[in-house]
Amino acid sequence: MAIIPPFLQAGSCIGVLCPAGFMPLDKAQTCLDVLQQWGYRVKAGETLGKQFNYFSGTDDERLQDLQQMLDDPEVDAILCARGGYGLSRIIDRIDFSRFVERPKWLIGFSDITVLHAHVYRRFGIASLHAPMAAAFNNNESENQYVQSLRSSLAGIKEDYQGNSHPLNRVGSAKGELVGGNLSLLAHLIGTPSEIKTKGRILFLEDVGEYIYNVDRMFYQLKRSGKLDKLAALIIGGFTDMKDTTVPFGMRVYDLISHVVKEYDYPVVFGFPVSHSRENYALKIGATYKLKVSKEKIRLKQK
């Protein structure tokens, strides 16, 4: 069973940084303001607003910023302002010893999948796959997805209900939740951060990929045994998909359904976890119960 970091209280401190791609400070300002309105103290990292080519600083600068936040006893949670790419370049150089002694919530998605997968695989510590700074912009901080981050940080257990999808496979399951961005999880296979999926509920999402790439990555998961003995599979948004000049010939959800047709566990399509606005907070490592019927689905944290 995963180690659950302490939930936040009024006055708790959230560190906000960019361990991967660059984000202008003004694009994160609303997030900083709203976190304070929620009653938290905010500590901005050195990488917030810093740029080095594509990244929010050099590898050493990003490593130092994240290491400082992990080690800082005043910081109770770390919100990654954006994903992009970059954590894979520094993950093996991070010293997690103080973090293991005093776990804190790590928040984000996309490239932050690397961090989630690593801390769960290596240390059995839960983390929070959830909206990042850009989700707060354009008066969106009150929407149900950003508010799910607020609720999760306060210790409220998630209970998500939604409509069914024609491709869903009905059934019930219970298990620890793992997952995140498909591209990153396929990329982590064969590394010390590779996720274990046996007996667990796996959720996946992605953005901006060619359809054939999604097919290839699913076969990578399949051939490496990651799809064999799941408790259940949750497919989130696969947004902004691209096709080749000669069409692949299948839509994304149809190809995923085809890849997993031989298994008998429940499968959910269209769950609101994605790179778009529809992105509920999910606790990686926490235990959930999933129920899939012909009419609706329900994912409830135990």
Q: Which of 127, 148, 187, 205 is catalytic?
A: 205
Residue 180 identity: G
Q: Is 118 a catalytic residue?
A: no
* Cα pseudo-dihedral 79, 85, 87, 89, rounded to 10: -160
Q: Is 205 a catalytic residue?
A: yes
- Alpha-carbon span 172 to 81, nearest angstrom: 35
- Alpha-carbon span 221 to 223, nearest angstrom: 6
Q: Which of 56, 110, 141, 152 is catalytic?
A: 110
- Alpha-carbon span 203 to 236, nearest angstrom: 7
Please work out, in degrees rounded to the nearest 5, the angle formed at the alpha carbon of residue 234 by the alpha carbons of 156 and 106: 45
Of 22, 90, 25, which is closest to residue 52 (Cα–Cα)?
22
Q: Which of 116, 129, 187, 275 is catalytic?
A: 275
- Alpha-carbon span 208 to 284, nearest angstrom: 23
Give catalytic residue positions.
Answer: 110, 205, 275
